[in-house]
Amino acid sequence: MLLSSLALLLLHPQLDQTITDDGVWCWFADPRAVAAGGAIYAGWTSHVGSIVVGKVAPWGLSPETFTLREELQADDHTNPSLLLLPNNRLMAFYSKHSGPDMFMRETVESVETSIQNWTPERKLNLNPNAEPPHSGYCYPNPVYLAEEQRILMTWRGTEWKPILSWSDNLGRTWTKGKILFAKEGADPDNRPYIKVAADGKSRMHFLATDGHPSSEPTNSVYHFYYEMGAFYRADGTQIATVQTLPVRPENCDLVYDGRVENIRAWIWDVAVSDDGYPVAVYARLPERNHHEYYYARWDGSRWTDRKITDGGGWFPQTTPGTIESEPYYSGGVVLDHSDPRIVVLSKPNGGRFEIQRWVTNDYGDTWSSSTLAVPSGYAAVRPVVARGQSNSASYVLWMDLQRYSHWTNYFGSIKGLWDDRGPLSNQPQPAANRRALSQALNLHP
């Protein structure tokens, strides 16, 4: 059975598998999936709000799961974010949607040994002092920087602002959080959004917005990075330190200026290229039902910003007779962090959102595309590429929805597939693809 499943995978590497038949996630708590030892580890929340981690073996065996918390909250914002530690243990962070507590758990042994044994749930009381209702937790984003031996984590916290904390002892103790990014004199209800990525060594990159696109008609996109206790623009100009936080938007790189175009935007992903430069993808939102995906890249002296493709409109199923409450919920666009020339996105085709791979070899000037997966339900959306993979094959995951009318009213599955990426020149080379996949899975070609 094992050999036949493996042979099938190598001959047809783009056959998708169901990781769970009950799972969803939001896109602001990442990593949602990481790679270790040839397997993929992903986290999601069920339709009753249980927080679950799953292990996906590369040879087609049934995924293994562990429930971190039963029925925390039925809300897709509660999905866990995962961090693989240098000792190969797995950390998970999660909270209710703007809930009073952040929770952390960790496997007691290497994830390659088992995902069934976890430390007891810990509450992390890290928000700066604030009175309710502006002191909740949501969207944890942890990274590890080897040169500092430091875990840094952001989340949405006090006054709905991005908060930063860190641990220098693999999570045993944490610094009190500080507001990371905010306008001078910002309203307590102003909600900047953050996406992060790390080079694994010394830098943590941030992509940020003015706020929520429903509240910010010219919502713009900013970039800055952290290194050794300070914050910088992409050209290396220092703009803040951990002692002088928060970072101010006007001091950051302006990746996209919504005031010039008079078009709001929302961020989706940021990654680091082989040359160490940041790459970002985001959505421009000219109309409620017209979204466009863009690819921005720092080239060493300036930001370039190129359109990838139209993204359709919102994916939620609007209740008849009502106005859509989340018109800026695009299907989604993310980067392959092991090769940011590759974008995985969701857009409508024939009326249903499907998962597509888009590739550029000229920094976004031109693109080739192919379909990776079509939905078994009404929409395949919010793709993600597992972090920490080789540069020869990637595991792509997405939500396959049966219904979704609101972030508290949904039912869907999480699906995934090994994408051997195909030839980036868009010409068929099946033998080479199978060899690359075999090497990525530590198999003999």
Q: What is the pLDDT of residues 183-227, one digit of tens each?
A: 999 998 999 999 999 999 999 999 999 999 999 999 999 999 999
pLDDT of residue 59: 66
| Span 114-127, average pLDDT | 97
Confidence of residue 439 (pLDDT cuts 50, 70, 90): very low
Instruction: Dig out the tokens for 186 from the structure.
Output: 């910002």
| Span 422-436, average pLDDT | 43
CA–chain centroid gap for 96, Å, is 18
Whether 298 contacts 282, CB under 8 Å:
no
pLDDT of residue 3: 38
| 86 pLDDT more than 60 | yes
- Closest alpha carbon to 101 in 51, 73, 63, 135: 135
pLDDT of residue 236: 98
| Span 274-292, average pLDDT | 98
| 303 pLDDT more than 50 | yes
pLDDT of residue 392: 72
Q: What is the pLDDT of residues 310-365, one digit of tens each?
A: 999 999 999 999 999 999 999 999 999 999 999 999 999 999 999 999 999 999 99
| 421 pLDDT more than 90 | no
236 burial (CB, 10 Å; 0-12 / 13-18 / 19+) is exposed
The contacts of residue 344 (CB under 8 Å, 6+ apart) are 333, 334, 335, 336, 355, 356, 357, 358, 372, 383, 384, 385, 396, 419
Mean pLDDT rounded to a whole number for the chain: 92
- Which amino acid is residue 27, in one-letter code? W
DSSP calls for 305-335: EEEEEEEES--S-PPTTS--S-TT--S-EEE
| 78 pLDDT more than 80 | yes
Distances (CA, A) of 115 to 16, 67, 155, 292, 396: 23, 10, 25, 39, 21
Backbone angles phi, psi at 226, to 5 degrees: -105, 140
pLDDT of residue 2: 35
Query: Could you tell me which CATH class the domain 2-440 is placed in?
Result: mainly beta
